[in-house]
């Protein structure tokens, strides 16, 4: 934590030197003493301090300065540091100005020059002011601060990215906090949001996630041009394969477009994963898996999307969306699945502004004591509703079918929760809102009743679709885009057309030798954390077999 600042301002160099010397002698251990000889320069410096979230304890300001009087300076400075104590240094002739400024700027004290000996005429006054400041001050947050509005998709994505990477930050809502708004206006001339302030004083305005990832020290570039194994996707399937590949000494790279953990990483509590009788949060499971993989030397790239995959001779080549090409011998598609998005008019504009897909737990506490909706009746929706009920006053769950399809333990928990209301046989017809979601229109499909409801937020968990687009033209997939592997790629008991090897495809191998698939993206999987982990482990064992044959 940087020391709080005592700022001395005087245009007379000899006075400034002597104030600085006296302040340093008494307060230098506990405070940073800044001595500046011009009002404008001091105001500029304050902006920098504010950007770094440093705090000012005391202003000791000369009243009579050319260009800007001490009172004028304090008026400006107090916008940034309203809690700082303020004292004017005045000559006898300025005492009326000092008295006036008691009202104008809430002056705490005025000291007549000369103040010597300081032990008698300066320190007792300042000691008292600083003691009082210490009792009442709220010290600023030391870490990353993200400033923006609740109703911005870009702000939501940044918060979600930091949360999913378990990087702490403070959220500053510029609609509620005027000092945050002033801070943002100074650095984001074209009002782009979010603005991210770092403890070293640097600022990023509406950055790409890769830029943010670089800034917070995540790996975004591969160290090598070639790996034995590349895994696309760092959900449970990808991480399981990575841990085994790393532990057996293979050069292994994991490419992740968002944050490690995949869908499982967004689960507030996984209760059916073997070995965790009281459940484990997706965060916790991810943190453990990531450290395990890294301990075995696996590289994990964050915020890097794999755009295409190519097979050239014995090489499998991945092209990232930033243009980088990385190659390997064995490739694992562990890209999982993502939620369907709403297609009704207006839903896209309100995404991130009241409509959220998946868990979006970063936003849950913003809807404290408000009414929110969950769309969907499966496990993820049930978990979402239970989590949101910790904050919201009411959680209404819109279910298309007659009843939720979630596991029994989750349905029991939904029924026992007084804040949760289940609305079966309900279709979502319309979403309404200008800058943010305001209302939704729903229809009861049993009796045809249509109802408009006020909605602060809606969390959508409807059906998942496989994220297989990047290999869609390369490997065989089902109509719905799930990647076929092993027996499913066989045609009349023969390997698929174009298959170049003597043997049949391995159990989790796709229609292209050396490209494997595991987890939610694979045809026939069971959409469970344990299945994804198991498939990841098996896929690794088969990739190892494949590598032996090269």
Ligand X SMILES: Cc1cc2nc3c(=O)[nH]c(=O)nc-3n(C[C@H](O)[C@H](O)[C@H](O)COP(=O)(O)OP(=O)(O)OC[C@H]3O[C@@H](n4cnc5c(N)ncnc54)[C@H](O)[C@@H]3O)c2cc1C
Smallest CA-to-CA distance from 241 within 293, 294, 316, 164 is with 293
Strands (DSSP E) found in 433-501: 439-444, 450-454, 457-460, 464-466
Is residue 47 a contact residue for ligand X (CB under 6 A)?
Answer: no
Is residue 426 a contact residue for ligand X (CB under 6 A)?
Answer: no
- Of 524-543, binders to ligand X (CB under 6 A) are 527-530, 532
Tokens of 495: 């390997």
Name the one range near ligand X by CB under 6 A: 112-120, 331-339, 477-485, 538-546: 331-339
How far the first Cα of the chain sits from its last, in Å, is 55
Q: How far is the CB of 352 from ligand X (least distance, A)?
A: 17
Is residue 331 a contact residue for ligand X (CB under 6 A)?
Answer: no
Is residue 389 a contact residue for ligand X (CB under 6 A)?
Answer: no
> Are 501 and 303 a contacting pair, CB within 8 Å?
no
Closer residue to ligand X in complex, CB, 111/153: 153
The contact mask relative to ligand X for 251-270 (x = CB under 6 A, - = no) is ----xxxx---xxx-xx--x
Is residue 336 a contact residue for ligand X (CB under 6 A)?
Answer: yes
Q: Cα–Cα distance between 350 and 6 in angstroms, integer?
A: 46
Name the one range near ligand X by CB under 6 A: 19-27, 55-63, 107-115, 333-341: 333-341
Tokens of 241: 């394969």
Q: Is 150 helix (H, G, I), strand (E, B) or coil?
A: coil
Angle at 533 between CA 375 and CA 254, to 5 degrees: 95
Q: How far is the CB of 246 from ligand X (least distance, A)?
A: 16
- Length of the chain equals 550
How many separate helices (H) and strands (E) can be counted in the chain? Answer: 16, 26
Closer residue to ligand X in complex, CB, 172/381: 381
Q: Is the peptide bond before 114 cis (omega within 30 degrees of 0)?
A: yes
Angle at 144 between CA 140 and CA 145, to 5 degrees: 70
Is residue 71 a contact residue for ligand X (CB under 6 A)?
Answer: no
- Of 292-311, binders to ligand X (CB under 6 A) are 305-306
Is residue 233 a contact residue for ligand X (CB under 6 A)?
Answer: yes
Is residue 380 a contact residue for ligand X (CB under 6 A)?
Answer: yes
Quick one: which of 39, 70, 358, 377 contacts ligand X (CB under 6 A)? Answer: 358
Spatial strand order of the sheet with 56-62 comes to 32-36, 5-9, 56-62, 85-90, 109-112
Quick one: which of 335, 389, 510, 511 contacts ligand X (CB under 6 A)? Answer: 335
Total number of residues binding ligand X (CB under 6 A)? 39
Cα separations in angstroms, 545 against 176, 333, 490: 59, 17, 20
Is residue 404 a contact residue for ligand X (CB under 6 A)?
Answer: no
Q: How far is the CB of 182 from ligand X (least distance, A)?
A: 36
Q: Is 497 helix (H, G, I), strand (E, B) or coil?
A: coil
Q: How far is the CB of 503 from ligand X (least distance, A)?
A: 26
Binding site for ligand X (CB under 6 A): 232-238, 255-258, 262-264, 266-267, 270-272, 305-306, 334-337, 358-359, 379-380, 383, 467, 470, 519-520, 527-530, 532
């Amino acid at each position: 934590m940087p020391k709080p600042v005592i700022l001395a301002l005087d245009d007379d160099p000899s006075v400034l030197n002597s104030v600085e010397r006296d302040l340093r002698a008494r307060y230098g251990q506990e405070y940073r003493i800044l001595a500046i000889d011009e009002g404008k320069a001091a105001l500029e410096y304050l902006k920098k301090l504010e950007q770094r979230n440093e705090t000012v304890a005391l202003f000791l300001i000369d009243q009579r300065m050319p260009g800007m009087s001490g009172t004028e300076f304090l008026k400006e400075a107090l916008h940034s540091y309203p809690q700082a104590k303020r004292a004017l240094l005045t000559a006898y002739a300025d005492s009326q100005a000092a008295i006036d400024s008691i009202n104008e700027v809430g002056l705490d004290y005025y000291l007549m020059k000369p103040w010597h000996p300081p032990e008698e005429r300066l320190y007792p006054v300042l000691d008292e002011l600083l003691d009082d400041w210490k009792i009442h001050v709220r010290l600023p947050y030391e870490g990353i601060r993200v400033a923006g509005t609740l109703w911005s998709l870009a702000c939501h994505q940044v918060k979600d990215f930091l949360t999913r990477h378990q990087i702490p930050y403070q959220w500053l809502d510029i609609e509620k906090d005027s000092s945050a708004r002033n801070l943002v206006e100074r650095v984001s001339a074209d009002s782009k949001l979010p603005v991210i302030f770092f403890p070293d004083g640097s600022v990023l305005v509406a950055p790409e996630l890769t830029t943010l990832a670089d800034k917070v020290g995540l790996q975004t570039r591969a160290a090598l041009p070639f790996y034995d194994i590349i895994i696309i996707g760092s959900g449970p399937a990808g991480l399981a394969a990575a841990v085994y590949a790393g532990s057996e000494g293979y050069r292994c790279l994991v490419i992740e477009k968002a944050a490690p953990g995949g869908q499982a990483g967004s689960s507030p509590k996984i209760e059916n994963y073997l070995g965790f009788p009281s459940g484990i949060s997706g965060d916790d499971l991810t943190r453990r898996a990531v450290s395990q993989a890294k301990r075995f030397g696996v590289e994990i790239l964050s915020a890097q999307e794999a755009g295409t995959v190519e097979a050239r001779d014995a090489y499998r080549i991945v092209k990232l969306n930033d243009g980088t090409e990385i190659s390997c011998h064995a490739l694992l598609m562990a890209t999982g699945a993502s939620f369907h998005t709403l297609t009704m008019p207006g839903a896209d504009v309100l995404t991130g502004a009241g409509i959220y897909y998946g868990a979006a737990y970063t936003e849950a506490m913003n809807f404290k004591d408000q009414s929110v909706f969950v769309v969907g009746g499966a496990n993820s929706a049930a978990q979402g509703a239970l989590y949101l009920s910790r904050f919201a006053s009411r959680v209404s769950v819109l279910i298309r079918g007659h009843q939720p399809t979630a596991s029994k333990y989750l349905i029991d928990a939904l029924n026992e929760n007084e804040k949760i209301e289940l609305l079966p046989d309900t279709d979502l017809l319309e979403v309404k809102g200008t800058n943010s979601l305001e209302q939704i229109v729903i229809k009861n499909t049993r009796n045809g009743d249509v109802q408009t409801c006020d909605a602060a937020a809606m969390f959508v968990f409807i059906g998942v679709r496989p994220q297989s687009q990047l290999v869609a033209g390369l490997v065989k997939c089902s109509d719905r885009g799930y990647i076929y592997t092993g027996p499913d790629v066989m045609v009349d008991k023969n390997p698929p057309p174009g298959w170049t090897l003597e043997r049949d495809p391995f159990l989790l191998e796709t229609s292209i030798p050396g490209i494997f698939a595991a987890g939610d993206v694979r045809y026939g999987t069971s959409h469970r954390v344990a299945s994804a982990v198991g498939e990841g482990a098996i896929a690794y064992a088969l990739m190892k077999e494949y590598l032996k044959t090269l």
